[in-house]
Amino acid sequence: MPTWVVVIFTIIGGAAALKILHALAIVVVHPITQGAMYTSTGRVKIRKALDAVTMKPGELLVDIGCGDGRVLRAARKRYGVSCLGFEINPIAFTKARLLTMGRKGVEIRCRNFWKADLGHADIVSCYLFPDVMRRLGAKLAKELASGARVISFNFPIPGWKHEAVLRADSKLHNDPIYIYRIPDSLSVGFQKTSIQSPEPQ
């Protein structure tokens, strides 16, 4: 068989194997992610969010379900904030770790964010799934301090009042970006004294 045929088959086989691994990883973590599967936010949307939510060095940005860590890398580069990402999908986690290797101020943990206390975050960013947003609202309302901000790509937090809804100037990436602030975004049902975290759906 000519060498070029072997090379082409190796490339196609490798790409197919990667796709299968990617799909398998999504299936395996589904009981935890509950539909928030690994896909990345468009860079134009990240830029739009970072234009609106300014940050200061010394503040902590936490991306809950950080995928390949692109939100964290962009925020670190632009504002010099400390960044922490939680990622449960092994492929996304590995990619995020590789892409942030040697970068100071960006930490990626292979951990279920539902089990983490987010109380130290000054800014939380997420791109999850509608099924988990109510539960997330309860968790954030309970744990975040006054003044903390939340950036939610694509999906609103039910019962919260957004400070702004942004859309990137792009036909392809113009899903909404919701911006919230504690405590102004918390409505009566979410006031800090009466929080009951609903069970996972």
Ligand X SMILES: C[S@@+](CC[C@H](N)C(=O)[O-])C[C@H]1O[C@@H](n2cnc3c(N)ncnc32)[C@H](O)[C@@H]1O
Interface positions with ligand X (CB under 6 A): 29, 32-33, 36-41, 63, 65-67, 70-71, 86-89, 92, 112-114, 127, 153
Shortest Cβ 10–ligand X spacing (Å): 28
Residue among 32 and 99 whose Cβ is closer to ligand X: 32
Shortest Cβ 120–ligand X spacing (Å): 17
User: Residue 189 half-sphere exposure, CB side, CA atoms within 13 Å?
Assistant: 11
Which helix (DSSP H) or strand (DSSP E) does residue 1 occupy? Answer: none
Residue among 39 and 187 whose Cβ is closer to ligand X: 39
DSSP 47-108: HHHHHHS---TT-EEEEES-TTSHHHHHHHHHH--EEEEE---HHHHHHHHHHHTT-TTEEE
Residue among 41 and 185 whose Cβ is closer to ligand X: 41
Shortest Cβ 100–ligand X spacing (Å): 13
Shortest Cβ 28–ligand X spacing (Å): 10
Between CA 171 and CA 37 the distance in angstroms is 23
